[in-house]
Amino acid sequence: METAISAEGLRKKYADNVVLDSIDLSVAKGEVLGLLGPNGAGKTTIVRILATLLPYDSGKVTVAGFDLAKDKREIRRRIGLTGQYAAVDALLTGRENLRLIGVLLGLGKRKAHTRAEELLEQFDLTHAADRQAKTYSGGMRRRLDLAASLVTTPTVLFLDEPTTGLDVTSRKLLWGMVREQVNKGVSVLLTTQYLEEADQLADRIAVLNQGGLIAEGTPEELKRKVGGERLEVSVATEADLPAAMRAVRQASAEVPSVNEKTKTVSIPLAGGVNTLASVTTELKAAAVEPVDFAIRRSSMDDVFLALTGQPVSAEEADDADETGPGARPTAERQTVQGEKAA
């Protein structure tokens, strides 16, 4: 399978602070790799390095088939980047933003005009094409920002928390637009604080913590790794909990956990259907009538908590350690484009 991004032994540090410690990762053509990790784990640093915006200390890296140490110009011709914050010019209209980027990237006025019209229609922005971007809603600005990263039809797309701050409807709309690019063969490296987003979009997920890669696999593989399915038995009153717990323990070799607040006893469902039947029999024998009897699959939230030891917070801004001293996320696209046009 053709590889779109490959990193071996990637390292980066600021003074004595090691941000990335011997990272190995790869993204195949037409694949979405989701990068998860707490703030400060190194997600944005990886994106900025691979997008040629930040030097790295050591390692072997290729992007779109070119060596990052030798062929930055060729890489820049083949990538698109949507950073954490919309990088469009608020005083220009949507159409003007896309035309300007096309001209800066060497398309020429005619081709830049044609490409801008195509993207405005594709991202449902034609009706607002002649309004200043500052009048756009958050969702519209992010759609315009994503469209801007696709002006030159890149083969590799970097999305650094592209839907942060968007409402659920706008987020799902953007997901659909990303899927359209993947269906065209575009490879995507996605960082996100929304675990549902990673679950929905990513073919594989890599989990970073304290600068190191601690787990990698498909969403389903990672869910199975942290416990798979659990059986949850909820009862009506706290007085029923002891009997419910005894019944569950007699039916399974697994150690049950008890949540007194929700009046729920749960166990890993290691025995499958046989465990379900045994628990049902024991509950009936103990005269315990559950108000809820459910199988719950592990979620990406469970994966994140189990692997990193902390819950995810989509509301937190990335730490300064992610990009290093003096970094300016809003200038990311302008930097790439300026160097492309040079």
pLDDT tens-digit readout, 118-165:
999 999 999 999 999 999 998 999 999 999 999 999 999 999 998 888
Count of domains observed in the chain: 2
Q: Determine the average pLDDT of the residues in 315-325.
A: 42
Please give the backbone phi and psi of residue 179, each rounded to the nearest 5 degrees, phi first: -60, -35
Q: Do 133 and 29 reside in the same domain of the chain?
A: yes
Read off the pLDDT of residues 84-121 as tens digits, 9 standing for 90 and up.
877 889 999 999 999 999 999 899 999 999 999 999 99
Do 141 and 267 share a structural domain? no
Those residues with Cβ within 8 angstroms of residue 192's Cβ, 6 or more apart along the chain or in another chain: 34, 35, 36, 159, 161, 162, 163, 198
- For residue 84, being part of any structural domain is answered with yes
Handedness of CA 328, 332, 338, 342 (dihedral sign): positive
Clarify whether residues 249 and 132 are in a common domain: no
Residue span of the structural domain in which 186 resides: 3-223+309-341
First CA to last CA distance, the chain: 33
Do 118 and 257 sit in the same domain of this protein?
no
pTM reported for the whole predicted model: 0.76
Is residue 165 assigned to a domain?
A: yes
Whether 233 and 215 map to the same domain: the answer is: no
Instruction: Give the number of C-alpha atoms closer than 13 A to the C-alpha of residue 49, restricted to the C-beta side.
Output: 28
Q: Phi and psi at residue 224, in whole multiples of 5°?
A: -65, -35
pLDDT, tens digit, for every residue of 13-58?
Answer: 998 899 999 999 999 999 999 999 888 889 999 999 999 999 999 9
Same domain, 10 and 41: yes
Query: In 10 A of CB 341, how many CB atoms?
Result: 12
Question: Rounded distance, CA 56 to CA 44, Å?
Answer: 13
Same domain, yes or no: 44 and 153: yes
Tell me the CATH number at 39: 3.40.50.300
266 shares its domain with 240: yes
Domain match, 290 and 319 both:
no
Tell me if 188 sits within 8 A of 157, measured CB to CB. yes
- Reduce the DSSP state of residue 60 to 3 states and report it: strand
Do 123 and 183 fall within a single domain?
yes
* Tokens (6 digits) for 160: 């650094």
pLDDT digits (tens, 9 = 90+) for 245-297: 888 888 777 777 888 888 898 877 766 677 778 888 888 888 888 888 888 77
302 in any annotated domain:
no
The pair of structure tokens assigned to 274 is 């046989």
3-state secondary structure of 47: helix
* Eight-state DSSP code of residue 227: T
* Same-domain check for residues 233 and 88: no
Backbone angles phi, psi at 11, to 5 degrees: -130, 145
- Is there a single domain that holds both residue 65 and residue 204? yes
92 located within any domain: yes
Is residue 115 in a domain? yes
- Is-contact 106 340, C-beta < 8 A? yes
